């Protein structure tokens, strides 16, 4: 409503100035000062969902791969309405919204994998310091780069890494584990350089002569072999792809999680550069619990995030397009296999220190043999922290 002026500008100006001067003099004598108006950019420190002043105006996250529901699903869940999609840069930006409430800052999610030339997210974070947080391929990546491009994981987005080795049960009805494959001459195709394969060979579960690192993710290897080969994949993707999408196959496959074969890798963790910890700490104290709850919420109601990730993959012209059905399968697998879970406690996203130590102990000699030694004296505290985790947030919590 417009307030109507009752006198002309300038009328009574001398009297007003005198009164104002007297008030200022009295304030100076009594030591009182007029309070500064609140800064809207500062936010409300006591409100856990008000990120203004604590977080960057736009929180930039380098994701691990192209948009999908299972790893960064909680982050896509937090993107507010009318997101801005940059198809050229393969990024999406929107207000960060928690259960309908705008937090006062924006969230920018940048695609990884082919979008950045398959550069490891840890390396991308050092190439572009405008990135605030990154998502690694697995916690073993953090161990691998600890001496050269260190990262500090502040949350496990996935409790158990979904990496699998799969096979045709009709061709190999006696196979139930990866070790069973190693008792035969069956060829095993995988992405060359993946650390878990060095573990499987070193532990005697597979033999060096049977593993082939030429796998490029295409089902053609498996199909061309007529099922007489095993192949790497992910529990939340390939079982559906082979049975439903690959026209030349369309039969069920069986598999074992690499985790269940003794490789205690966490799924993709959310990380920062350790040097940024003090600067980002005020933000992380609020943001990490928000992300914990978002991971829980998105699996309970995945539909909107699935729709957004499908839309983004189309905009980015991703070669391998996800479908709604495959995304829904992925969510089911994450739940049924407990890949997304609380682990041994009632908290989502935290790290079990003895488990992290086991991963360091397993991978340290592998990286040394590859002439990529880890940081001297590396301990779990050098790669993970539970400092920002809210222990009350978990799957099944009230």
Please give the domain boundaries of the chain with CATH numbers for all domains. 58-160+266-382 (3.40.190.10), 163-261 (3.40.190.10)
Check residue 321 and give its pLDDT: 74
β pairing state of 84-86 and 91-98:
antiparallel
Spatial distance between the Cα atoms of 86 and 93, rounded to a whole number of angstroms: 8
Its pTM stands at 0.88
User: Residue 355 and residue 170: Cα distance in Å, rounded?
Assistant: 36
Contact 330, 233 (CB under 8 A): no
Contacts of 98 (CB under 8 A, 6+ apart): 49, 78, 290, 293, 294
Cα separation, 167 vs 229, whole angstroms:
7
Residues with Cβ within 8 Å of residue 210, at least 6 apart in sequence: 181, 182, 184, 185, 186, 187, 188
pLDDT value for 40: 55
Instruction: Tell me how far apart the alpha carbons of residues 169 and 150 are, in angstroms, rounded to a whole number.
Output: 42
Q: Which residue has the tokens 């407990």?
A: 338
Residue with tokens 């590396």: 378
pLDDT, averaged per 10 consecutive residues of the chain (398 residues), comes to 38 41 39 47 84 98 95 97 97 98 98 95 97 98 98 98 98 98 97 95 97 90 93 96 94 98 98 98 98 97 97 93 93 97 95 98 97 96 98 88
Closest C-alpha among 46, 110, 38, 109 to residue 75: 109
Q: What is the pLDDT of residue 398?
A: 57
Q: How many CB atoms lie within 10 A of CB 292?
A: 25
For residues 365 and 380, what is the distance between their CA atoms, to the nearest angstrom? 16
The per-residue pLDDT for 220 is 87
Q: Comparing C-alpha atoms, which of 141, 146, 18, 76 is closest to residue 312?
A: 76
């Amino acid at each position: 409503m417009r307030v109507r002026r009752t006198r002309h500008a300038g009328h009574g100006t001398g009297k007003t100035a005198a009164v104002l001067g007297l008030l200022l003099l009295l304030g100076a004598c009594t030591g009182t000062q007029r309070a500064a108006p609140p800064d809207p950019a500062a936010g409300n420190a006591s409100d856990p969902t008000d990120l203004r002043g604590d977080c960057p105006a736009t929180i930039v996250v380098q994701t691990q791969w192209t948009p999908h529901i299972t790893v960064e699903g909680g982050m896509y869940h937090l993107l507010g309405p009318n997101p801005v999609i940059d198809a050229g840069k393969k990024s999406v930006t929107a207000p960060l919204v928690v259960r309908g409430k705008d937090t006062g800052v924006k969230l920018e999610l940048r695609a990884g994998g082919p979008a950045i030339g398959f550069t490891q997210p840890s390396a991308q974070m050092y190439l572009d310091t405008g990135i605030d947080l990154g998502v690694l391929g697995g916690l073993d990546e953090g161990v691998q780069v600890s001496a050269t491009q260190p990262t500090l994981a502040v949350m496990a987005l996935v409790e158990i890494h979904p990496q699998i080795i799969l096979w045709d049960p009709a061709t190999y009805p006696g196979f139930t584990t990866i070790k069973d494959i190693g008792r035969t001459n069956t060829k095993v195709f995988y992405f060359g350089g993946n650390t878990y394969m060095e573990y499987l060979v070193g532990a005697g579960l597979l033999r060096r002569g049977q593993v082939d690192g030429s796998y490029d993710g295409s089902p053609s290897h498996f199909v061309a072999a007529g099922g007489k080969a095993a192949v790497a994949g992910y529990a939340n993707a390939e079982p559906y792809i082979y049975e439903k999408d690959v026209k030349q196959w369309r039969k069920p496959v069986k598999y074992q999680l690499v985790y269940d074969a003794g490789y205690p890798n966490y799924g993709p963790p959310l990380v920062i550069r350790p040097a940024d910890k003090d600067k980002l700490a005020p933000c992380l104290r609020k943001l990490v619990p928000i992300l914990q709850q978002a991971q829980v919420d998105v699996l309970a109601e995945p539909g909107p995030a699935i729709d957004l990730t499908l839309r983004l993959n189309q905009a980015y012209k991703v070669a391998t397009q996800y479908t709604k059905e495959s995304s829904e399968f992925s969510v089911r697998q994450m739940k049924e296999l407990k890949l997304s879970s609380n682990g041994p406690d009632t908290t989502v996203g935290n790290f079990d220190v003895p488990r992290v130590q086991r991963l360091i102990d397993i991978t340290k000699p592998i990286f040394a043999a590859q002439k990529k030694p880890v940081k001297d004296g590396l301990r779990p505290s050098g790669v993970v922290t539970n400092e920002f985790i809210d222990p009350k947030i978990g799957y099944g919590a009230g």
